[in-house]
């Protein structure tokens, strides 16, 4: 006796231009498919208009990736002279035939400082044109790991540059204050405080000239923005946590990001998912990060995302550790994750539908060489898309005896019935013993 056909709850038509010639198609999955399919996507089937199953390849979407880096080129300090009482003027020259200079880096051994710099450019080292009026270089390591020594320049073709630092000495107060008290007859008559002021010049070891270079990197996973179904927050005063419950549509998420109207904060945050073991469940950590928003003068840093390995859950929980700080208000949660696409060879004159959402479907095994070989040869698939979702006609479910026997409700009912029978038997036995004649 053959296996019963698997019932798929939903289907979508494959829509694409053409259809009169054979084509390699790429069809991105959408949120409705993610919501209805099981982990690992074993319940995806592609059928043509005659109901014949069509092999396909399911792969993660990737995209080319590059990064912009600073590459040093020849040149450096050509001279320096004092400017006024505390300023300096530094002359720089780029070597001949070097690329246009996109920026400068001041290398200094100092820490805990802030300086303002002006930059001028010249073709001949005599006639100067302003490039940057008020750049900031700083190091705030006394408070946090924040520093900047780079000065980006606008597009230019100059080979000569001039840095002007109006106050090349920094002034700071010593952390020790001398307190003098004058007493007369045991009573304080006068008090004076003396604070030591220490002046330290801005020492520059060297100035590096650089240009921007784009470097190609291996293709990386393409990220997609996904909607958050709902979220709610509550405060755990005992543990000093802000707890955010997030609901999603089971898309393949890799990051949740918080949005807060507040500024200048830095908090540790953890993302958790619910794991069920039997009839019990517990929360398991899957990712953590420091979420922060720092905006002070020229400092503008924001990092509110919490990354984790790909998950397809309907329910996530985020814990924000406030410690003794006021609770962080949250007015939005954004979700981001991977995307998958289905690739297959479409025959001329045929139409196709994607069927999905079945409890009993097993992972199909297809010959995917006819799909992967054209991709390796450099052929680009034709973009297609999924049409509107259509629900299948509901069929009365067949009796699942194996599922029934393994159901905790069935087992609970059996245990309860067994206990009741034993109790009834014990009561009956007790009555019979009580009715026995005494010797």
pLDDT tens digits, residue range 303-362? 999 999 999 999 999 999 999 999 999 999 999 999 999 999 999 989 999 999 999 899
Rounded CA separation 233/309 (Å): 24
**Confidence label for 282 from pLDDT (cuts 50, 70 and 90):** very high
Q: What is the pLDDT of residue 428?
A: 64
Q: What is the pLDDT of residue 301?
A: 83
Q: What is the pLDDT of residue 194?
A: 66
Rounded CA separation 294/144 (Å): 11
CATH superfamily, domain at 69-169+203-214: Galactose-binding domain-like (2.60.120.260)
Question: pLDDT at residue 399 above 60?
Answer: no
| Phi, psi dihedral angles at 214 (to 5 degrees) | -95, 125
Residue position matching structure tokens 């399911």: 58
Rounded CA separation 257/254 (Å): 10
Q: Which of 127-131, 183-187, 229-233 has the lowest mean pLDDT?
A: 183-187
The listed range with the strongest mean pLDDT (122-126, 164-168, 218-222) is 122-126
Question: pLDDT at residue 427 above 90?
Answer: no
Question: pLDDT at residue 400 above 90?
Answer: no
Q: What is the pLDDT of residue 201?
A: 79
**Confidence label for 1 from pLDDT (cuts 50, 70 and 90):** very low
Q: What is the pLDDT of residue 14?
A: 96
As a whole number, mean pLDDT of residues 163-167 equals: 91
Nearest Cα neighbor of 340 from 292, 288, 386 is 386
- 356-391 per-residue burial string, b: 16 or more CB within 10 A, e: under 16: bbbeebeeeeeebeebeeebeeeeebeebebeebee
CATH topology match: 69-169+203-214 vs 223-337: yes
Would you identify the CATH topology of the domain 223-337? Jelly Rolls (2.60.120)
Q: What is the pLDDT of residue 3?
A: 45
As a whole number, mean pLDDT of residues 368-377 equals: 93
Helices vs strands, H then E, count in the chain: 4, 31
As a whole number, mean pLDDT of residues 61-81 equals: 91
Taking the alpha carbons at both ends of the chain, their separation in whole angstroms is 67
Question: pLDDT at residue 2 above 50?
Answer: no
Task: Please report which helix (H) or strand (E) contains residue 370, including its range.
Answer: helix 369-376
Long-range contact set of residues 388-394: C-beta below 8 Å, sequence gap at least 24? 388/12, 388/13, 389/10, 389/11, 389/12, 389/32, 390/10, 390/11, 390/12, 391/9, 391/10, 392/7, 392/8, 392/9, 392/10, 392/11
Per domain, the residue ranges of the chain are 10-61+341-391, 69-169+203-214, 223-337, 401-435
């Amino acid at each position: 006796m053959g296996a019963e056909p698997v019932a798929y709850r939903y289907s979508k038509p494959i829509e694409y231009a053409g259809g009169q010639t054979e084509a390699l198609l790429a069809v991105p999955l959408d949120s409705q498919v993610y919501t209805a399919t099981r982990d690992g996507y074993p319940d995806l089937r592609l059928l043509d208009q005659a109901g014949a199953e069509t092999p396909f390849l399911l792969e993660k979407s990737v995209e080319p990736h590059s990064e912009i880096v600073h590459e040093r080129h020849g040149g450096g300090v050509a001279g320096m002279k004092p400017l006024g009482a505390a300023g300096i003027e530094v002359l720089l020259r780029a070597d001949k035939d070097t690329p246009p200079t996109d920026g400068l880096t001041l290398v200094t051994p100092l820490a805990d400082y802030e300086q303002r710099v002006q930059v001028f450019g010249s073709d001949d080292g005599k006639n100067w044109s302003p490039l940057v009026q008020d750049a900031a270089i700083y190091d705030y390591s006394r408070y946090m790991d924040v520093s900047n020594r780079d000065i980006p320049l606008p597009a230019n073709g100059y080979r000569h540059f001039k840095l002007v630092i109006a106050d090349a000495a920094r002034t700071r107060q010593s952390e020790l204050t001398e307190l003098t008290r004058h007493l007369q007859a045991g009573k304080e008559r006068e008090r004076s405080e003396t604070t030591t002021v220490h002046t330290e010049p801005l020492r520059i070891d060297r100035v590096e000239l650089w240009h921007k270079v784009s470097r190609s990197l291996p293709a990386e996973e393409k990220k997609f923005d996904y909607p958050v179904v709902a979220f709610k927050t509550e405060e755990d005063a005992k543990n000093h946590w802000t707890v955010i419950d997030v609901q999603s549509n089971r898309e393949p998420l890799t990051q949740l990001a918080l949005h807060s109207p507040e500024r200048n904060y830095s908090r540790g945050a953890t993302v958790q998912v619910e794991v069920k073991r039997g009839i019990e469940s517990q929360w398991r950590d899957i990712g953590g990060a420091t979420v922060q928003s720092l905006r002070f003068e020229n400092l503008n840093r924001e990092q509110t995302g919490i990354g984790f390995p790909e998950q397809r859950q309907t329910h996530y929980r985020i814990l924000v550790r406030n410690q003794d700080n006021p609770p962080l208000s949250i007015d939005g949660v954004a979700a981001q994750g991977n995307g998958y696409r289905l690739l297959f060879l479409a025959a001329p004159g045929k139409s196709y539908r994607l069927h999905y959402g079945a409890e009993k479907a097993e992972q199909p095994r297809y010959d995917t060489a006819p799909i992967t070989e054209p991709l390796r040869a450099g052929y680009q698939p034709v973009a297609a898309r999924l049409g509107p979702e259509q629900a299948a006609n509901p069929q009365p479910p067949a009796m699942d005896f194996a599922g029934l026997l393994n159901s905790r409700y069935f087992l609970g009912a059996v245990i309860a019935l067994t206990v009741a029978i034993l109790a009834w038997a014990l009561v009956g036995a007790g009555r019979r013993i009580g009715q026995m004649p005494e010797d």
